[in-house]
Amino acid sequence: MSTTAETAPRSLSRRRMRVDGWRWTGRIFLAFMLLYTAVPMIWMLI
């Protein structure tokens, strides 16, 4: 009984970590795209 109770939260936290990985990948990618898009425009303004 205690084994089941222990494994459930562990698998949940593992899944949450995996979801966070995708989220962070998305954030880093968006930051890169923002840089790629904005730098030429900022350069134009300067």
Partner 1 sequence: MTIVTGKAEARRRLESGRSSVLRQIWEHRADYAYVLPAIAVMLVVIAYPIYYTIELSFFKTPPGLQLRDKTFIGFDNYTTILTSEVFWRVTWNTLIWTLGSTLIAFVLGFATALALHREFVGRGVLRAILIIPWVISAVAASYIWKWIYHSDFGIIGAVLVGLGLADRPPNFIDSVNTVLPSLIVVNIWREFPFAMIMMMAGLQTVPEQLLRAAQVDGASAWQRFWHVTFPHLRNVSTVTILLLAVANFNSFIIPWIMTGGGPSNASHIWITHIYELAFGRQRWGVASAYSVLLFLTLMTLGYFYVRALSGNERQEGSA
Q: How many residues bind partner 1 (CB under 8 A)?
A: 18
Q: How many CB atoms sit inside 10 A of residue 27's CB? A: 10
* Shortest Cβ 30–partner 1 spacing (Å): 5
Between residue 16 and residue 35, which ones bind partner 1 under the rule CB under 8 A?
A: 18-19, 22-23, 26-27, 29-30, 33-34
Write out the DSSP string of 1-46: -HHHHHHHHHHHHHHHHHHHHHHHHHHHHHHHHHHHHHHHHHHHH-
Note whether 12 binds partner 1 by CB under 8 A: no
* Shortest Cβ 8–partner 1 spacing (Å): 13
